[in-house]
Amino acid sequence: MDPQSIDADYDRIIELIYRGALEQQPWQSALPALRQALDAQVTSLVLRPPSEGDRGVILNCVRPEDAGQAAETRLADPNDWEVTAYREQFFTLDPFVNLPHDKVIALEDILPDEELVHSDYYLHYLQPIGLFRILGVDTAEPGGMLARLRFSRRQGEPRFDARERQLVELITPHLRLAIEIYARLNRMTSERDLYAGAVDQLSVATVILDEQGRVLNTNAVARAMLDEADGLGQRGERLHITSRRVDGALQEALDSVARARRGQEPSVVRALRVPRSAGRSDLGLVIRPVPTSEWSEGQSSPCTAVFISDPDLRESASQQSLGELFGLTPAEANLALLLARGLSLAEVSEAQNISPHTARAQLKSIFSKTGVSRQAELVRLILKSVASLA
């Protein structure tokens, strides 16, 4: 490696390391740059080591076979033989794992060449893929996520020298911080998706708007509702209600939330009814501010959440989940579901093709198992239970 290349490459590599935490395929730009900077045959980043029943997460960048090919190539296919074989067979044989954190080490530091060439790891894995020299570092973020960065060269190529080790030492603190950013973003995304999925299961439409009243995000229920445009729709980037009077109330409520946010004042939650076409129930809207931190800023950040309930959407609890929650038989759970959907006991009897006497007997058993004594109480119990989230 050119002695001046550390200075030439360093700033760009650091930028790419931090950008990697935000890329759709993490570190897809940084790994090729690192491979080129250290003139390695392969650069690998292990974000989760493989184990029995777990493929792990291993990112590889391989030197282009054609010397004229662009140096910054895509990451290798995770299904390539080298990755698959390492994951499924050779990870447990790898002597170059569980390194002291943040310490740059070469394979020859812990396993001399003469011992390496007689090891199963070399004979059955490194030699078939033409690798011999390895330089690496392990680092971990506070939440426990461990990253293993590795550089590999062929047997006829020189060992990694002191300046190359120095470059890896310099980038390691930045890699550790980037890994922490990546881990936090993934945890937040997982939590967000979990809560969003729960809201979807409850058949609640959710629309997030910015300070200017522009739609930033919708869940699947809201998207279908806006596409249908019965009573409530979207014009350009804004929510629109067909009724001019109710639309005026909506816009005033959104403006009120935005004004309160700019003035750092509390905002009142508002509720509206949205009329729809004949034969359909009114939609119910709740408009409330999105919680912000002391440092939240920017007119394009989430400002207002609009939650929409459609009484015509069927309750989504499953027969199996109700049975497990309350100890109901399949027939009893099905009857309870139909009652929760607004059918009378006579209508349930007809729909299920059972006698009124059988329907009453099943209802009496349901009352006994759930501890309620009236049909209205049973419906409320079902609608407020966690069965809808199953």
Nearest Cα to Cα of residue 137 among 12, 61, 43: 43
**pLDDT for 155-193, tens place per residue?**
889 999 999 999 999 999 999 999 999 999 988 888 888
- Which pLDDT score, from 0 to 100, does residue 77 have? 61
Radius of gyration of the chain measured on its C-alpha atoms: 30
Give, rounded to a whole angstrom, the gap between the first and last alpha carbons of the chain: 57
Cα–Cα distance, 135 to 105 (Å, whole number): 6
Sign of the dihedral defined by the CA atoms of residues 195, 196, 199, 201, in that order: negative
Which residue type sits at 124? Answer: H
Q: Which residues, in sequence order, are CB contacts of 124 under 8 Å at separation 6+? A: 89, 90, 93
Token pair in block for residue 54: 């777990």
Token pair in block for residue 112: 């001399």
Q: Which residues, in sequence order, are CB contacts of 293 under 8 Å at separation 6+? A: none
3-class secondary structure, 381: helix
**pLDDT for 16-45, tens place per residue?**
999 999 998 899 999 999 999 999 998 989
Task: Return the minimum-mean-pLDDT range out of 127-131, 132-136, 327-331.
Answer: 127-131
Q: Which of 3.40.50.1220, 3.40.50.280, 3.20.20.70, 3.30.450.80 would CATH assign to domain 5-190?
A: 3.30.450.80
Cα–Cα distance, 15 to 181 (Å, whole number): 14
How many other C-beta atoms can be found within 10 angstroms of the C-beta atom of residue 185?
A: 13
Bigger pLDDT: 311 vs 56: 311
CB distance 22 to 178 below 8 Å: no
- Which pLDDT score, from 0 to 100, does residue 390 have? 65
Cα–Cα distance, 5 to 354 (Å, whole number): 82
Q: 5-190 with 202-309: one CATH topology?
A: yes
Residue located via tokens 């069927």: 314
- Which pLDDT score, from 0 to 100, does residue 3 have? 43
pTM over 0.75: no
- Which pLDDT score, from 0 to 100, does residue 315 have? 59
Helix (H) or strand (E) holding 164: helix 162-201
Q: Which of 1.20.1090.10, 2.60.40.10, 1.10.10.10, 3.40.50.300 would CATH assign to domain 319-389?
A: 1.10.10.10
Residue located via tokens 């038989």: 329
b/e 165-174 (16+ beta carbons within 10 angstroms → b)? bebbeebbeb
Q: Which residues, in sequence order, are CB contacts of 8 under 8 Å at separation 6+? A: 2
Which residue type sits at 202? Answer: L
Q: Where are the domains of the chain?
A: 5-190, 202-309, 319-389
Residue 383, pLDDT > 90, answer: no
Bigger pLDDT: 288 vs 2: 288
Which residue type sits at 270? Answer: R
CB distance 110 to 95 below 8 Å: yes
How would you list the strands of the sheet with 270-274, edge to edge?
215-218, 204-210, 302-309, 283-289, 270-274
Q: Which of 3.30.420.40, 3.50.50.60, 3.30.450.20, 3.20.20.70 would CATH assign to domain 202-309?
A: 3.30.450.20
CB distance 80 to 60 below 8 Å: yes
